[in-house]
């Protein structure tokens, strides 16, 4: 059974940093693309960062490019999202999502971790 377990969310001040982790199990992590998708309260889903299973060029939403960095450690079956220069607009539930092969078709999702940016 595929399991994705996010951690690292919490309260952070504007301008601060946070690193999210997603521990994956139940599938061959190194063979699947992965993504971070967020939902701002009352708004829709937004894919903020996407990374193929080969350590190629990550893809970012315009709203986070230059501030967020997605990475993966295939030896630890873990996906990361380093978030810097956070603003109130980054307050959201962040989901870890598994792609299918190289595709950004997300067939499994974690339960999400809440990030709140507030002073």
Partner 1 sequence: DIQMTQSPASLSASVGDRVTITCRASQSIVIDVNWYQHKPGKAPKLLIYAASNLQSGVPSRFSGSGSGTEFTLTINSLQPEDFAIYYCQQSHTTPTFGQGTKVE
By CB under 8 A, name the binding residues for partner 1.
35, 37, 39, 44-47, 50, 59-62, 95, 97, 100, 103-107, 109-112
45 vs 88 by CB, closer to partner 1: 45
In the beta sheet, which residues pair with residue 69?
82
Distances, alpha carbon 3 to alpha carbons 12, 26, 91, in Å? 27, 6, 24
17 vs 100 by CB, closer to partner 1: 100
What's the closest the beta carbon of residue 80 comes to partner 1, in angstroms?
18
Backbone angles phi, psi at 89, to 5 degrees: -70, -10
Q: Any idea what DSSP says for residue 88?
A: G
What's the closest the beta carbon of residue 111 comes to partner 1, in angstroms?
6
């Amino acid at each position: 059974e595929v399991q994705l377990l996010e951690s690292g969310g919490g309260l952070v001040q504007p301008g601060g940093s946070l690193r999210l982790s997603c521990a994956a199990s139940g599938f061959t992590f190194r063979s699947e693309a992965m993504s971070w998708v967020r939902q701002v309260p009352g708004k829709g889903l937004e894919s903020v960062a996407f990374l193929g299973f080969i350590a190629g060029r990550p893809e970012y939403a315009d709203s986070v490019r230059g501030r967020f960095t997605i990475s993966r450690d295939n030896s630890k079956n873990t996906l990361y999202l380093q978030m810097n220069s956070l603003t109130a607009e980054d307050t959201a539930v962040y989901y870890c999502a598994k792609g299918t092969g190289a595709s950004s078709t997300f067939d499994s999702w974690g339960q999400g971790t809440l990030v709140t940016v507030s002073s």
